Amino acid sequence: MSTRPRISFNDEGWCNACVWSEKKQQLDWKVRETELLNLLASHRKGNGEFDCLVPLSGGKDGSYVAYNLKHKYGMNPLCVTITPALPLSLGEKNLRAFVESGYNHISINPDYEAMRTLNKLGFIEMGFPYYGWLISITTAPIRTAINHGINLIFYGEDGEVEYGGSTETATNPIYDIEYQKKIYLEGGYQKVLDASKLEKGQLYFFEYPPDEQLKNSKVQLTHWSYFENWDPYRNYLVAKEHCGLQEADSSNAGTFTNFSQNDQALYALHTYLMFLKFGFGRANQDASIEIRRGAMNREQAVNLVRLYDGHYPEEFIELYLAYYGMSQREFDDVIDRYANKDLFEKIEGRWRPRFTVV
Kindly list the structural domains of the chain, giving each domain's residue range(s) and its CATH number in brackets, ordered by start. Answer: 16-226 (3.40.50), 250-353 (no CATH)
Q: What is the Cα–Cα distance from 268 to 274, expressed in whole angstroms?
A: 10
Residue 229 pLDDT > 90: yes
237-272: buried (b, 16+ CB within 10 Å) or exposed (e) per residue?
Answer: ebbbebbbbebbeebbbbbbbebbbbbbbbbbbbbb
At 5-41, the pLDDT tens digits run 899 999 999 999 999 999 999 999 999 999 999 999 9
**How does pLDDT run across 46-65, given as a tens digit for each residue?**
889 999 999 999 999 999 99
Integer Cα distance of 125 and 187 in angstroms: 12
The answer to whether the Cα torsion of 107, 111, 116, 121 is positive or negative is negative
CA proximity to 169, closest of 131, 121, 226: 226
Phi first, then psi, for residue 185 (nearest 5°) are -100, 5
Residue 134 has pLDDT above 90, yes or no: yes
Q: How far is CA 271 from CA 162, 285, 309, in A?
A: 18, 9, 9
pLDDT higher than threshold 90 for residue 216: no
pLDDT band at 262 (very low <50, low <70, confident <90, very high): confident
- The Cα angle at residue 12 between residues 10 and 15, in degrees rounded to 5: 45
Nearby residues of 217 by Cβ (< 8 Å), 6 or more positions away:
145, 146, 151, 209
What pLDDT was estimated at residue 258? 85
Q: What is the pLDDT of residue 261?
A: 85
pLDDT digits (tens, 9 = 90+) for 161-183: 999 988 889 999 999 999 999 99
Q: What is the mean pLDDT of residues 145-159?
A: 95
- Across the chain, mean pLDDT equals 95
Q: State phi, psi for 174 to the nearest 5 degrees.
A: -100, 130
Strands (DSSP E) along the chain, which ranges?
Answer: 52-55, 77-82, 104-108, 152-155, 174-175, 220-223, 344-347, 350-353
The pLDDT value given to residue 141: 97
Q: Which one, of 78, 51, 68, lies nearest residue 141 by Cα?
A: 78
- Looking at this protein, which amino acid is placed at residue 275? F
Torsional sign, CA 313, 317, 319, 325: positive
Distance CA 145, CA 223 (A): 16
Terminus-to-terminus CA distance in the chain, angstroms? 12
Residue 195 neighbours by CB under 8 Å, 6+ apart: 121, 125
Collect all residues with Cβ–Cβ distance below 8 Å to 73 and sequence separation of at least 6: 36, 37, 40
The torsion angles phi and psi of 80, rounded to 5 degrees, stand at -135, 130
Q: How far is 75 from 73, CA to CA, in rounded Å?
A: 6
- Residues 339-355 have a mean pLDDT of 95
Can you tell me whether residue 255 is helix, strand or coil?
A: coil
- The pLDDT assigned to 260 comes to 85
